[in-house]
Amino acid sequence: MITGNKHWRVLVTGGEGYIGQHLQKYIFDTHDMDVYSVDAKSGFDLLGDRSIGHIETYDCVVHLACLTGVRASNKIPHRYVEDNIKMTMSVLNQCKEYDIPCLVASSSSVKQMKSPYAYSKYAIEQICTSYPYAYNTRIFRPFTVYGHTIADCYRANMLYGMIQNDRIPSEIYNATRDFTHIEDICSAITLLIRNARKGRAQDVYEIGYCNPITTEAFMSGLGVHTDNITFLDPSDETYLESTFTCASPHRLYELGWKPKHINRTYE
């Protein structure tokens, strides 16, 4: 929870996660907003029957809470689909009751639909665009998030985290992704908070640079020596993640988004 007696009140679900922690700090540091969060790690389970306290006092809710990870979702697919939808429905119903704008995180993985995680996010998008949730719900898709501005705050099981922890695999699929820095993800979400009543639920906001590069190029940009790494062909049918992603951020640019890291892939 980050407060300070400011004008706007924003609630972040999944506030202890990678994006959630960065988003709270970014909002409080750069905007006239108080930020609060709920998270299973801090004792608030959206899968239970407990309602979010005083939700009617918030100006906007950013729903980030979910089970994450494409590879992990293949091990317990039923949990990902069931739990992610149930958590989202809990938040949507509470926001609908008090007519609170709700920004819901989807994923670039819905582009290729190669995992239970992707299917759970696709289902959530369909729910958000249906009656009666479409009026106060907007969807955003972060594209391959990397970087950190908080010490040791990154996902250790993702490529960027493996690089930070010096645990890079000897074989890596050379997918082409629209790698997007966490600071720009946060600036985009904050912009959407200010414009949460604009647009339509079916007009998804994609947060990325429209600048896809290969995994090998991304790693080289971070200063990683790749001579001893074998880069595999991502078209292999055993590869269960997206082989190519490219955001279409024109709706964000129309709102005035100004990403800082668009021309570089390093810290």
- Encode burial over 195-218: b for 16+ CB neighbours within 10 A, e otherwise: bbeebebeebbbbbbeebbbbbeb
Residue percentage of the chain with pLDDT more than 70: 96
Question: Whole-angstrom Cα distance, residue 35 to residue 28?
Answer: 7
State yes or no: pLDDT of 264 exceeds 90: no
pLDDT at 7: 78
| Fold of the domain built from segment(s) 8-255 | Rossmann fold (3.40.50)
The pLDDT score that the predictor gives to residue 4 is 54
The DSSP result for 200-251, as a single string, is -TTS-EEES-S--EEHHHHHHHTT---TTPEEEPTTSTT--S-SB----THH
> How far is 53 from 161, CA to CA, in rounded Å?
34
Tens of pLDDT, residue by residue over 66-125, are 999 998 999 999 999 999 999 999 999 999 999 999 999 999 999 999 999 999 999 999
Ranges of each domain in the chain: 8-255
Q: Residue 44 class from Cβ within 10 Å (0-12 exposed, 13-18 middle, 19+ buried)? A: middle
